[in-house]
Amino acid sequence: MADRLIYVAGNPDGYPLEYYDPGTECYQGVLPELLRCFAEESGWEVRYYEPGPEDHREDLARQQQVDLLSGCGTGEEFAHTEGELLAVLTAEEEGTSASYGFLCTEVAPEDLREELSSFLAEVSQETRTGLLLEATETVQPGTGTGLLPLTVGLGVLAALLLAVLAVGLLRSRHRRQQEREAGEVDALTGLGNLDALIRHLPAVVNDKNRALYHLIYFYVDLERLGRQAGQTGSQNFLRHMAVVLREFVGEQDLLARVSEGGFVLLRMAGGQESERLLLDAVLKRLRLGPDGEDAPYLAAGVAPLAREDRDLNELLFRAGQCARAAYAAGESWRLCTPQELSRLQEEQRLREDVCRGLERQEFLLYIQFYVSVKDLRIVGGEALCRWEHPEKGFLTPDRFIPLLEREGLIETLDYAILEKVCTFLEELARGGVRDFMVSCNFSRKTFSSEDFLTRCGEILSRHAFPREMLVAELTESSLFRDQGQARKNAQALKDLGLRIALDDFGEGFTSFYDLLEYPVDGVKLDKSLVDNIGRPKGEAILKAMMQVGRDLGLTVLAEGVETDEQVRALREMGCDMIQGYRFFHPVPDWDARRQLLEREAGV
Ligand code: C2E
Ligand code: CA
Ligand code: CA
């Protein structure tokens, strides 16, 4: 192919026709793009001669180093050139006409001139068809006005836009062809994949226009989609997404499916308000499935690009994070503002922390004893997690549980704590302590998963202690929302010999009668109910709840008890157990074990 190699001297300063981009250390713009297309179509290998910020065209022409000079205008003269200017753009302005394009040098191969000019004719043909006229309206005014090294008027600008768009059209045609050739097409949707996006990005987005772009990441919750729509339904939905998104892709934009559940639209954005409306419209369309059904399986994160945002992975990560955060919050899309980003970064750091913390056993087991109302004797304790963070210090669950839940790490923590609880109970049992129970919290995610039973079973099988010493604390949402699996899991726990307590009772809307459907042994009345003691109406409700609970044979525990007045009232109402700072604060597991073993030994 060496004889099909040509060298080009570029114009570093002819934005947007041709200019030097220090980021990529290449020439960018309409002309380099055209040459790339030309190379692909013709088989010429085209190389720019030492791209840089200085204009060396005259020198290179004189030294006969190059075959082509690029970014030349009418009237510009260079040494050793041959023939007319091969014009890419001609603009009429106030009676004079100016053209811009390429000049062949005397050393250029013979066929080059002919092939390049017929290629350029094809571009202008497409321009003339008017195919692109419509699209000019969507182009940002100011994409390059005034930067062309001439005083340009509107006529020139319009022509320039046409040229830019013509390249866009050619480019997208080439892009599709290249993607097919390189296996960069997603088989399901026909969109380009991540490799395609990586390859085409530099040709579309550059230092000069980057700030005009938004990267929109569409995150799809594949797990939920699969569960609700099945495999075929999921595939139809993903195809439908591709169809809808394609409608919103302009010539200056890129669309790709970058992962199983991630679509990316890199879009030259309009004004703030119009983008907002557009996003609302796109998401509304997407959130209606192929048959117009409700399909709330996705959300988008929108990252406006800054001039220095050159790292695609970083952008994908950011926008993906925003999309997930939006999805978790039930929003249809979220803008990655600097505040949002620093919040996400903080979470990312915390996430890395969590993984390290889990590995290095930084999560500790604390036990908060609860007492029997009858004689105020310790009858059990709740397992509560604490995080001994190497830099941030001692963290309580409100600082990390919501994050773990969002990030899908809560199961890991729940099972890690269960393991510690089992070790704790085994040691107690070995020390002769039997009349004590530990209640262990399980998040909804953990409890409603299919492998819950297997994983619990594995952990339990490693530890010997009477199973009735272990209580599973579940919240209403874990027990009643995902009914099928949760019901199975609850029954399986009972079959293993565990007891089940319903946590935070009174916070939600479950009635005692709903409880009868489930194998629940006890309820923990939420602190908010206990706080009502002393207020006649609130107290009446509490009393009524306690009565029904007792009638149904459930053990009733009151949480968050802080005062003697509360203890007195609860005793009168017939409450069975009390947990609260009035008696005990949570203590480390070794301390709780010491206290219990000492009590057993009669110390
Ligand atoms: P929870 O299950 O409702 O646990 C009771 C919370 O109330 C604990 O907060 C406890 O320290 C606090 N508390 C106890 N008595 C009093 C009192 O008299 N006054 C006041 N103001 N508060 C009292 P903690 O330890 O911060 O735990 C918060 C929540 O974090 C727990 O609420 C539980 O839902 C969750 N959690 C803790 N450990 C784990 C765990 O290992 N796994 C899971 N999934 N969740 C956990
Ligand atoms: Ca609890
Ligand atoms: Ca609780």
- The predicted-structure confidence for 1-43, as pLDDT tens digits, reads as follows 446 899 999 999 887 778 888 888 889 887 888 888 888 888 8
- pLDDT band of 407, cuts 50, 70, 90: confident
Which one, of 240, 275, 267, 239, lies nearest residue 251 by Cα? 267
pLDDT in the model for residue 139: 34
If you average pLDDT over each of 86-90, 151-155, 157-161, 577-581, which comes out highest?
A: 577-581
Cα–Cα distance, 490 to 479 (Å, whole number) = 8
The angle, 0 to 180 degrees and rounded to 10, between the axes of the packed helices 452-461 and 410-430 is 30
- pLDDT band of 603, cuts 50, 70, 90: confident
pLDDT in the model for residue 19: 85
Lowest mean per-residue pLDDT among 66-80, 346-360, 534-548:
346-360
Give the atom of ligand 1 at the shortest distance from the alpha carbon of 443: 44
Mean pLDDT, range 283-290, rounded to an integer? 92
592 alpha carbon – ligand 2 mean position (Å): 17
The verdict on the CB of residue 431 being under 6 Å from ligand 1 is: no
Counting ligand 1 atoms within 8 A of each CB, the residue from 367, 401, 409, 562 with the most, and so the one to mutate, is: 401
The verdict on the CB of residue 441 being under 6 Å from ligand 1 is: yes
The verdict on the CB of residue 503 being under 6 Å from ligand 1 is: yes
Give the atom of ligand 1 at the shortest distance from the alpha carbon of 581: 18
Reported pTM: 0.56
Q: Spell out which residues have Cβ within 5 A of ligand 3, the ion.
A: 503-504
pLDDT in the model for residue 516: 74
473 alpha carbon – ligand 2 mean position (Å): 6
366 alpha carbon – ligand 3 mean position (Å): 15
pLDDT in the model for residue 85: 92
Counting ligand 1 atoms within 8 A of each CB, the residue from 384, 438, 565, 579 with the most, and so the one to mutate, is: 384
Alpha-helix runs per DSSP H in 247-311? 272-286
Which one, of 123, 80, 139, 76, lies nearest residue 104 by Cα? 80
Mean pLDDT, range 278-293, rounded to an integer? 92
Given the structure tokens 């010493």, which residue do they identify?
469
Give the atom of ligand 1 at the shortest distance from the alpha carbon of 366: 25
Give the atom of ligand 1 at the shortest distance from the alpha carbon of 524: 3
pLDDT of 345 higher than 90: no
The verdict on the CB of residue 590 being under 6 Å from ligand 1 is: no
Residues 6+ apart with CB under 8 A from 443: 401, 405, 410, 411, 414, 478
What pLDDT digit, counting tens, does each position of 305-339 carry?
A: 988 888 999 899 989 989 998 998 899 999 988 88
Report which protein residue has its CA nearest ligand 1's atom 24: 397
Give the atom of ligand 1 at the shortest distance from the alpha carbon of 446: 44
Mean pLDDT, range 349-378, rounded to an integer? 93
The angle, 0 to 180 degrees and rounded to 10, between the axes of the packed helices 30-42 and 110-128 is 110
Given the structure tokens 């409890």, which residue do they identify?
447
pLDDT in the model for residue 138: 31
What pLDDT digit, counting tens, does each position of 524-572 carry?
A: 999 999 999 999 888 998 998 888 888 889 999 999 999 999 999 999 9
pLDDT in the model for residue 370: 98
Query: Rounded mean pLDDT of the chain?
Result: 86
Lowest mean per-residue pLDDT among 294-303, 402-411, 424-433, 506-515:
506-515
454 alpha carbon – ligand 3 mean position (Å): 26
- pLDDT band of 130, cuts 50, 70, 90: very low
What pLDDT digit, counting tens, does each position of 132-191 carry?
A: 232 233 333 333 332 333 333 444 555 566 666 666 666 666 666 666 667 788 989 989
Q: What strands, in cross-sheet order, belong to the sheet with 18-21? A: 13-14, 18-21, 26-28
Please provide the DSSP assignment of 525-542 as one string. E-HHHHTTTTSHHHHHHH
If you average pLDDT over each of 66-75, 102-111, 374-383, which comes out highest?
A: 374-383
The verdict on the CB of residue 353 being under 6 Å from ligand 1 is: no
pLDDT of 246 higher than 70: yes
Which one, of 84, 140, 93, lies nearest residue 113 by Cα? 84
pLDDT in the model for residue 152: 39
